[in-house]
Amino acid sequence: MIHREKLRALKKAVGKFTPNDQLVHSLIDSNLEAWDQLEGGKDTQTQRAELKERERQVGIALAQLREVIHPLLDAGPDPDPASKALYIVDQIMDMLRARGPKWKREWSWYAPLIEEEFGA
């Protein structure tokens, strides 16, 4: 099967030489549809893109939260709650950045790290 980008380039090239050749266009379109089906359909592709954007937005929000929490470490006499909050934010950001097998880790994998670091 030809890759999607090559199919699109071929379709443009065919259009320049034989603009009325519907058979070639339909073959290329059916191949493009086959690629969509292999990747789970257009709905799945849209959901993946939306999920990726949502993860990016959560990462931005957590980075902003981290910036707010960080000055609290120096402000109070007992910075332990702020340190713990900052550590939790860092763990969430790590969870969002994870790829490969690490991506499948649930929050329950990170919780013992927090308990170990801060004693519950």
- pLDDT at site 1: 53
pLDDT above 70 as % of the chain: 73
Q: Whole-angstrom Cα distance, residue 115 to residue 97?
A: 22
Please compute the mean of the pLDDT values over residues 16-25 and round it to a whole number.
Answer: 63
- pLDDT at site 49: 86
Residue with tokens 């999920």: 51
Buried b (16+ CB within 10 A) or exposed e, 9-18: eebeeeeeee
pTM greater than the 0.85 cutoff: no
- 56-114 tens-digit pLDDT: 888 888 888 888 888 877 766 665 788 888 888 999 988 888 888 888 888 888 888 88
Please compute the mean of the pLDDT values over residues 47-64 and round it to a whole number.
Answer: 87
Mean predicted lDDT score pLDDT of the chain: 78
Residue 43 — φ and ψ, nearest 5°? -65, -40
How is residue 78 written in tokens?
């007992």
29-38, 40-49, 81-90 — which one is most confidently predicted on average?
81-90
- pLDDT at site 71: 80
Q: Whole-angstrom Cα distance, residue 39 to residue 33?
A: 10
Residue 50 — φ and ψ, nearest 5°? -65, -40
Q: Whole-angstrom Cα distance, residue 48 to residue 54?
A: 10
Domain residue spans in the chain? Answer: 4-38, 43-118
SS3 content of the chain, % helix, strand, coil (to 5): 80, 0, 20
- pLDDT at site 11: 67
